[in-house]
Structure 1
Amino acid sequence: MEASLKNKRYKKIIVSSPTNTTIQRCYACKNVCNSSQPSAEARFFCRWCKSECVSVVTSRTTPYLCSTCHNVSIPTLGQEKSREVCGICSQVKKIGTKFFKHGYPDNRNKIGTLLSREAPSSMALSSSSSSFPGRHSKRAVLCGVSYTKMKFKLKGTVNDANNMRELLIKNFKFPNECIRVLTEQEKNADLIPTKHNIMESLRWLVKDCQAGDSLVFYFSGHGLQQPDFKEDEIDGFDEALCPVDFIKEGMIIDNDINSTIVWPLKSGVTLHAIVDACHSGTILDLLYVYNLERNIWEDNKPPSKEPIRKHTSGGVAICLSACEDSQSANDSTVFGGKGMNGVLTYLLTKAIREHPQITYGALLDKLQIEIKKINRSRCRSSILQRIFHRKIVQDPLLSSSEKFDVSTKIFAL
């Protein structure tokens, strides 16, 4: 659906639906709204920001994009008048079609949102495939890379992404339409976890972020290290994530992740990165790393002559990694249920569901305790189990753009 919108710039986009809905552009405000023939005007209050709106409605399920908060509401039928009203700026004039093509890229979000709400289920975009959902204070990008056509494929990453998505929706009230999931099972080519698609999604994640926004980047897949040529790493190695096409297109280096989603964070914006991958300890290149044994924040600045930027533009970035930079992360079937799961992802989501008000420090302790329990149970298992199930050696690592008290700060996304 989205590809057809890119290549064809018709005056109208008609969706075959029971209400014969037509998406048009207003001559005055140049925004996209719904109308139909015959049309009716309805006044109602946006269910998000409570501001009064005027919309052309044809049924009790016609969506309206609020001009104040940019969220979608469902109006109810009121007094009907035989005139067309722009659903965005409420101009009572006929919608001009010649202006439709102007500013087209800026309004793809409104088109995608309206189509996904109004079109029949067979035509509607899925919530995770909507490229530009409506404006919300919570937004997330979840990547589960399986490498299905390669020898080093992973079996639990899709389970991990689905597990994290469920946690965000149920425990942290993330709107479904504001979660973008990238896996190799997606039918939309833009949601395959290639290097290009992941980087585009990261840019989408932080675009136009505002004070009060909560952003989440989650990755489950392979992680690697490579020599550091910029002298901005204490250990001399850059950490990197492996997209599905990394052999051809290359890895996503921590420097690029830092400049893409850490630098743009404005004051009042909070970003959480949860990375279930090998060698992912300092994958966001943040200023401070928490030493759990000594209970202190340690400086992550390298002794470089060149000024190294590891800070935000006023916001806060926090990263929880599956292991230290020198360690490997694991996925396992030890947890039961269907298929495999990443150790960090499974234990993290389990701990939060059981302890909704858990602090960062308590969460780190809980993760380490659970990993030790798994290893002890394997030591008591049979010889065959010990042969085929290796010991889990990974220490989850917390890093941040600024110091905070991990013993009192509640883990919240």
Structure 2
Amino acid sequence: MEATSKCRGYKKGVLFPTSTSMHGCYASKNISISQPNGEAKAICMGCKEECHCLMPSRTTLHRCSVCLKVSNSTLGPHGLKKECAICRPVKKIGAKLLKLGDLGSSKKNGNLLSGSLLPPSMPSSSLALPSTSRYNKRAVLCGVSYRKRKFRLKGTINDISNMKELLIKNFKFPKECIRVLTEQEQNANLIPTKHNILESLNWLVKDCQAGDSLLFYFSGHGLQQPDFKEDEIDGFDETLCPVDFLREGMIIDNEINSTIVWPLKEGVTLHAIVDACHSGTILDLLFVYKHESGIWEDNKPPSKEPIRKHTSGGMAICLSACEDSQTAADSSVFGGKGMNGVLTYLFTKTIREYPGITYGGLLEKMHDEIKKINRSRCNNRILQHIFNRRIAQDPLLSSSEKFDVSTTMFKL
């Protein structure tokens, strides 16, 4: 059986320069001060590891091609480095993707090699999107395979087919109101580029009215990057990786929030189902439901300056593949043809088997299924360690408002 993890881990004690006098630790995610010149020692206040690095003697300002932030960079013998020190490690993600035995490939990573991820046969000119009538149910389904890349995903097309069938058969979504973005589409506007995904998200919420039920679904790689606006509790922004993220950059949770959460009017409900690594708070919603304790935790921004994260009266609910600190997987462990995202497969399976299930019941069933899989795959701890057969992800529910998950029926 095959599986793919969707993200990379952090190395304990490895520091990366954020300027000539500051360092950020990948292990504890803390920022610490180092000596300003020569051989610098920095002890991270989080993991207590001492690291040595050579501080740059000459710096200049530049804009990073990945995160678009302006920062200092070393001017070495070969000229200015093109990406910032914060994003540079991300360039190596694909080469370091974990091979997880039964669990297949990492869904939320990416080998940030230079160049375009667009299919070579795809014309650069745009094609018009088909016109659609006004429906009170609309959906955007986005599946990114990153084909012909080392970090490609094999289960996203199956995920899209599974989700589309569920929407049509179980929730009565008209086919005409479902916009699908994959690399297999003939229409250039439906390739899951950063521009096309954001355009589709704008289409999803445009002129929304009371009674509308909207859905955003994403299956692909997800990453994290340092939070520069100080609006994240853990100090990291969550991101989604479009097919052209090497060139155009990632889609940050702040942008997703402002695009599809802010416009929600009273009486409008948005669901987001995100099968990606580090996707726990990808919509930056105000409340996170903790399955083990059964309580809603406050996820409001810790920054001193007011930052908008709420709707315009509507309701936004997000079901994520895992917590922000976790990775998600594509797997062939479920049998059948090909691979599937773990969240997508368990979500669609549970909804089909238990129509009318509550949000709490849905979470409970998915957590139970993951536990059963882990118990059945390998009881021998030594073999389990060798083959990495555990599914180490906990589906997470977040919302713009608190509600009773034990009595509220899941519906789209």
TM over 0.5: yes
**Amino acid of the residue matched to residue 270 of structure 1?**
T
SS of aligned partner of 1:155: coil
Pick the structure with greater CA Rg: 1
1:402 aligns with 2:401: yes
Shift of 1:314: 0.5
Superposed CA deviations along residues 181-235 of structure 1, whole A, max 9, x for unmatched, are 0001111111110000000000000001000000000000000000000010000
Partner of 1:291: 290
SS of the residue 1:142 aligns to:
strand
Change (3 A) 1:168 1:381: farther
Corresponding residue for residue 136 of structure 1: 135
Q: CA deviation at 1:294?
A: 1.3
Distance of 1:132 and 1:219 partners within structure 2 = 23
2:237 counterpart of 1:226: no
The aligned residue for residue 209 of structure 1 is 208
Q: CA RMSD in A?
A: 1.6
Matches within 5 A, 1:327-406: 327-380=326-379, 387-388=386-387, 390-406=389-405
Distance in 1 (CA, whole Å) between partners of 2:379 and 2:149 is: 34
Q: Cα distance, 1:291 vs. partner?
A: 0.9
User: Residue 396 of structure 1 aligns to which amino acid in structure 2?
Assistant: P
Matches of residues 5-154 of structure 1 in structure 2 within 5 Å?
130-154=129-153
Partner of 2:253: 254
Q: Which amino acid aligns with 2:373?
A: I
Give the secondary-structure state (helix, strand or coil) at the position aligned to 2:303.
coil
Change in 2 beyond 3 A, CA 1:227/1:381? same
| 1:363-385 superposed Cα distances (whole Å, 9 cap, x missing partner) | 10101000001111111489878
Match of residue 21 from structure 2: none
For 1:156, give the aligned amino acid.
Answer: G
C-alpha separation in 1, matches of 2:226 and 2:322: 19
Q: Which residue of 1 aligns with 2:55?
A: none
Higher mean C-alpha displacement, 389-398 vs 402-411: 389-398
SS in 1 for 2:201: helix
SS of 1:364's equivalent? helix
* Displacement after TM superposition at 1:301 (Å): 1.0
Alpha-carbon distance, 1:290 to partner: 0.4
Counterpart-to-counterpart distance in 1, 2:133 and 2:333: 39
Aligned residue number for residue 66 of structure 2: none
Runs (5+) with no aligned partner, structure 1: 1-128
Match for residue 161 of structure 2? 162
Question: In the TM superposition, what whole-angstrom CA distance separates every residue of 1:139-190 from its partner, at most 9, and x where no partner exists?
Answer: 0000010000211000000100110000000000000000000001111111
Equivalent position SS for 1:351: helix
Corresponding residue for 2:270? 271
| 1:334-365 deviations in Å (ceiling 9; x for gaps) | 11111000000000000000001100001101
What is aligned with 2:314? Answer: 315
Q: CA contact under 8 A between 1:378 and 1:386: conserved in structure 2?
A: no
CA distance in 1, matches of 2:145, 2:380: 29
Asked whether the 8 Å contact 2:155–2:340 carries over to 1, the reply is yes
* Shift in alpha-carbon separation, 1:298–1:131, aligned structure 2, 3 A: farther
CA deviation after TM superposition for structure 1 residue 391, in Å: 1.1
Report the counterpart of residue 302 of structure 2 in structure 1.
303
Contact kept in structure 2, 1:379 and 1:386, CA below 8 Å: no
C-alpha distance after superposition, 1:40-63 (max 9, x if no partner): xxxxxxxxxxxxxxxxxxxxxxxx
Shift of 1:246: 0.3
Change (3 A) 1:132 1:234: farther
Counterpart AA for 1:176:
K
Question: SS of the residue aligned with 2:283?
Answer: coil
Question: Are the equivalent residues in 1 in contact too, given 2:384–2:390 (CA < 8 A)?
Answer: no
Q: How many residues are aligned here?
A: 285
The verdict on how the C-alpha distance between 1:185 and 1:388 changes in structure 2, with shifts beyond 3 A counting, is farther
Q: Which has the higher contact order (CA 8 A, sep 6+)?
A: 2
Residues of 1 paired with 2:170 and 2:367: CA distance? 22
**SS of equivalent to 2:403:** coil
Alignment partners' CA distance in 1, 2:217 and 2:163: 8
The 3-state SS of whatever aligns with 2:181 is: strand
Percent of paired sites with the same residue:
81
**Which runs of 5 or more structure 2 residues have no equivalent in the other structure?**
1-127
Output the CA distance in 2 between the equivalents of 1:212 and 1:131.
24
Q: CA deviation at 1:389?
A: 5.4
Deviations 1:286-327 (A, max 9, x none): 000001111111100132111011110000000000000000
C-alpha distance in structure 2 between counterparts of 1:136 and 1:398, whole Å:
27
Q: Report if aligned partners of 1:287, 1:311 keep a CA contact under 8 Å in 2.
A: yes
Structure 2 residue matching 1:404: 3-state secondary structure: coil
TM-score under structure 2 normalisation?
Answer: 0.67
Supply the distance in 2 between the matched residues of 1:219 and 1:386 (Cα, whole angstroms). 30
- Runs of 4+ displaced beyond 2 Å: 129-132, 380-390
Amino acid at match of 1:307: P
How far 1:130 sits from its partner (Å)? 4.7
Verify the 8 A CA contact 1:144 1:193 in the aligned structure 2.
yes
Q: TM-score, normalised by structure 1?
A: 0.67
- Residue 122 of structure 1 is matched in structure 2 by none
Contact persistence 2:231–2:301 (CA under 8 A): yes
Contact between 2:129 and 2:189, CA under 8 Å: does it hold in 1?
A: no
